[in-house]
Structure 1
Amino acid sequence: MTGPAAAPNGAVDAFGPPWVLQPDGVLFRRGARVVVIDPDDRVLLVRGHDVDQPERSWWFTIGGGIDPGEDARTAAVREAREEAGLRLRPADLVGPVFRRRAVFDFYARRCRQDEEIFLARVDGLDLATLDRSAWTAIERETIDELRWWDLDALEQVQIEVFPEGLPGLLRPVLAGWDGITRDLGTDDG
């Protein structure tokens, strides 16, 4: 599979809005993510893979692109609903607690996403109550599972976790966020 083609305006519609092809050939969009935490301080993560590299998978936070007309907070709430069926309000989000630039290959294309990452605490939800009905075709093809992770167990995971070092990043935030958005730099996955 060679991946979606660019539309005349530079947007890459098959990836979903608002991916735009940059002059250097890299697809770019702004993104919003949510670190979802339950009452036991477990984090909800998604495990996915790339159809071009089915042997490689990784864990990552709920989230995706910021659609035209959205701010990061609104996009994070929408993504939580679409990817997990979580009914959050913008006021439920803390942060952004982190910012990062994610550079990765997907569908045989080089992609860059500049992300704002929020934190949201939710009451106990088991995996059976999570709703996957709003997943896009690409999500249905590339997302393997959702799972609650204890931070100690997550540190022992043998596959990649994004953002890199997530358990260590979360511990001080869970103890009480100081209001400062931490810049995580670039994750080059």
Structure 2
Amino acid sequence: MSEPEDGLRKVARVVLLDPQDRVLLLHGHEPDDASNDWWFTPGGGLEGDETREQAALRELAEETGVTDVELGPVLWERVCSFPFDGRRWDQDEWYFLARTRHPVALEAESMINESGLTDLERRSVAGARWWTYQELAEAHETVYPTRLAELLNRLFGEGPPSRPLVLDTEIV
């Protein structure tokens, strides 16, 4: 993968909600240290000349197997920088709203479809889980983007923003 001119990897992420307004998060960790873990939304970097919308749908399908979704607007944008797998990742992330038309059954802490994961993802993604707003608000685990519970509460109360909210830059 070539580095973008501004040094930021372009990323599309999906805030996937089921009919009960639960959000799907993946459980990730450092490849060589499962105790260094966090929860995050499905998504990843753009490939070739695909759009962010195309990347969001592709990544969602690859990481979860979920394809029956309605992709909505971009909710949030953020720039982040974090260490992972021995390197620093600098990213420009767009978070798309998506809804499943039908509930998607997940076994606790299991992936829906590992066949679409890259080698690095297989070594660093432990599972997936549906979270309610209340569970996120009470969680003591690390979740990205930070303030996700607060952001979801605002989304549920006000609906999608007319323009994407620009979140604070996160440097870990």
Determine whether 1:101 maps to 2:79.
Answer: yes
Determine whether 1:71 maps to 2:51.
Answer: yes
Structure 2: tracts of 5 or more residues without a match: none
TM-score, normalising length from structure 2? Answer: 0.89
Determine whether 1:131 maps to 2:113.
Answer: yes
Aligned residue-pair number: 167
Of residues 34, 38, 42, the one that matches 2:22 is 42
TM-score, normalising length from structure 1? Answer: 0.81
- Which amino acid in the other structure matches residue 131 of structure 2? W
Match of 1:33 in 2: 13
Task: Decide which structure has the larger Cα Rg and report it.
Answer: 1
Q: Which digits, 9 at most, give the CA deviation of each residue in 1:163-182, with x for residues without a partner? A: 00101101222342132200
SS in 2 for 1:75: helix
Determine whether 1:185 maps to 2:165.
Answer: no
How far has the Cα of 1:78 moved from its partner? 0.3
- Which amino acid in the other structure matches residue 134 of structure 2? D
Match of 2:142 in 1: 160
How far has the Cα of 1:127 moved from its partner? 0.9
Residues 52 and 108, structure 1, Cα contact 8 Å, conserved in 2: no
| Identical counterparts, % of pairs | 36
Alpha-carbon distance in 1 for matches of 2:10, 2:94: 8
Q: Residues 76-95 of structure 1: matches in 2 within 5 Å? A: 76-88=56-68, 92-95=70-73
- Does 1 or 2 have the higher relative contact order (CA < 8 Å, sep 6+)? 2
Residues 75 and 161, structure 2, Cα contact 8 Å, conserved in 1: no
Q: Which runs of 4+ in 1 moved over 3 A?
A: none
Residues 77 and 88, structure 1, Cα contact 8 Å, conserved in 2: no
Residues 81 and 88, structure 1, Cα contact 8 Å, conserved in 2: no
Q: Which digits, 9 at most, give the CA deviation of each residue in 1:67-123, with x for residues without a partner? A: 12011111000001000011146xx21211100112110111111110111011112
CA RMSD of aligned residues (A): 2.1
Structure 1: tracts of 5 or more residues without a match: 1-16
Alpha-carbon distance in 2 for matches of 1:168, 1:153: 12
- Which amino acid in the other structure matches residue 124 of structure 1? P
- Which amino acid in the other structure matches residue 164 of structure 1? T
How far has the Cα of 1:61 moved from its partner? 0.2
Match of 1:12 in 2: none
Alpha-carbon distance in 2 for matches of 1:115, 1:21: 13
